[in-house]
Amino acid sequence: MPYRAPVEDYRFLFDHVIGLPEVAATDRFAEATPDMATAILTEAGRLCEDVLAPLQRPGDLHPARLENGVLRTSPGYAEGYRAIAEGGWIAIGANPDHGGMGLPMLLTTAVNEMMAAACLSLQLAPLMTQGQIEALEHHASPEMQALYLPKLVSGEWSGTMNLTEPQAGSDVGALRSRAEPNGDGTYAITGQKVYISWGDNDFTENVCHLVLARLPDGVPGTKGISLFLVPKFIPDENGDPGARNSLKVISLEHKMGLHGSPTCVMQYDGATGWLVGEAHDGMRAMFTMMNNARLGVGGQGIGVAEGAYQHALAYAQDRRQGRTPTGDGTGTIIEHANVRRMLASMRAETFAARAIALACAKAIDMQTATGAAQWGARAALLTPIAKVCGTETGIAVANTGIQLHGGMGYIEETGAAQFLRDVRVTAIYEGTNGIQAMDLVGRKLMDGGEAALTLIEEIETAAEAARGTLPDLAGPVWQASESLREATDWMLAQTEMTERFAGAMPYLRGFARVLGARFHLAAALAEGGDGPRTRLARFYITRLLPEHAGHFAHATQGAADLYALTASDFVA
């Protein structure tokens, strides 16, 4: 079925749940008025519906390929990328000094999600460039910014990030790539990187790689890593692509999904690179890009959830199977109770994940606009939750979409399976979801839980205020937030990190459940307590929110039972 951009959902969330007007009230984002937001969403939605969505299936059927060392992208991708670039969508949040629109992360997040829903394989290309732009804006020298940022912002050049090596996945500090000073301010980069999304293409003039490598005096581990910008073509004296650099794509990964997105094995053989930021401080610079990408990856999961939901809904409205319990019994399968349960779950989960991602984006915007530490802390807290919730929702909704299709969901021609194949990797890259959960209970609680407890207090206050209007919904939300507070207190009481890590993922899932309920409650209140959003909120709060109790029971068990298992127990 054709994809339809959920513009109205975003407008509702902006105006009534998340609070775009608060962002627009700052001097930094004063141009982000409701009319501006509507215009951005409408135009981006049109691009996604008319240009990108038709590329979704062809990219899956006709993957990117490597021919005699030259990368060939899927049919139509070059034209689709040009439409993205010419529309200014690659860097709508980038600094206007370099050609960006300077708009809030809220709008960037919405646009990125719609593009991911329409064609995730292609959307990965601008997402990588966006992350590189942010890293260079924060850490590159003025000279490097002046040369590279306008080209990246315009889409003439594209960007990647190179972290992973065959022996160093999540353990980035184990990398072996090295950087040798050339004596002229440049460095010779040598090493191999794997899983590099859009490591090359045939539609931009240059591909700029951010590469982690170790200088000769770099100490072992992450503290000895530096970051380098290594372009495919070395810019000449006019800033145009010049001599070919000593790097190449040596193979493409054969993946479960995302066939239209070339995932490359990159080889650097003394390639010329330039240091970004300070020597041995590469991880700090790279984390700027990774944190940007983590929110973006969460949005990719939400986008796929939206696409899978729309696909399943269209099928349920058309497919006739069995006697239905309404009317004369000859209705479509949407009339069956279990099908309705699946569809309601898909829609309610997607709304909750979308709201969480937008709340994270708003916190980033408010920190950017005001410099207030509490907004920075809120953004840091919500980033791992948004990444995990968004990607897990995408996987769950896509999986449910296959189930709803029945046997036809397992048949590739229906397109239902592609959503699950494409989205599955989002739970792995930009920091696996397990690592995100560990970050939440570890680093993000190092403030004594101040950021988390402040957010919990806000949820409880909002639920308490809603008791007079929607008592049947407000009560469970308040009680669930109390359970979240207790689970957070338990985490804070554990001084041994392994005790926290053993329950990190269920804690994050429970946290996301409570946040989702908070936003559903806000939507119902904004609607006046009667309407489709209220009915969806009631479904989420009465049927899905109770799962929080199981999550928190799991989260607070500690690690003893896990380590009581012996090696032989796993094979018994």
pLDDT at res. 292: 73
How confident is residue 431, by pLDDT bands cut at 50, 70 and 90? confident
pLDDT at 104 over 80: yes
pLDDT at 12 over 90: yes
Percent of the chain with pLDDT over 70: 99
CA–CA distance, 352 with 537 (Å, rounded to integer): 10
pLDDT (tens digit, 9 = 90+) per residue, 360-373?
A: 999 999 999 999 99
197 backbone dihedrals φ, ψ, rounded to 5°: -65, 130
Longest dimension (CA), the chain: 83
Convert 527-536 to b/e letters by CB count within 10 Å (16 or more is b): beeeeebbeb
The amino acid at residue 82 is R
pLDDT (tens digit, 9 = 90+) per residue, 235-252?
A: 999 999 999 999 999 999
How confident is residue 89, by pLDDT bands cut at 50, 70 and 90? very high
Average pLDDT, the chain: 95
pLDDT at res. 168: 77
Catalytic position from the list 306, 349, 430, 499: 430
List C-alpha distances in Å: 486 to 205, 478, 510.
54, 13, 12
pLDDT at 14 over 80: yes
Cβ atoms 53, 1 nearer than 8 A: no
Residue closest to 252 by CA, chosen among 71, 126, 62, 61: 71
CA torsion through residues 187, 292, 199, 43, sign: negative
Cβ atoms 296, 130 nearer than 8 A: yes
End-to-end CA distance of the chain: 48
pLDDT (tens digit, 9 = 90+) per residue, 271-310?
A: 999 999 999 988 888 777 777 789 999 999 999 999 999 9
Worst-scoring range by mean pLDDT, 409-413, 427-431, 436-440? Answer: 427-431
Looking at per-residue pLDDT, the higher value among 196 and 327 belongs to 196
How confident is residue 346, by pLDDT bands cut at 50, 70 and 90? very high
pLDDT (tens digit, 9 = 90+) per residue, 448-464?
A: 999 999 999 999 999 99
pLDDT at 1 over 80: no
pLDDT at res. 430: 84
Instruction: Return the SS3 of 340.
Output: helix
Please confirm, yes or no, whether 430 is among the known catalytic residues. Answer: yes
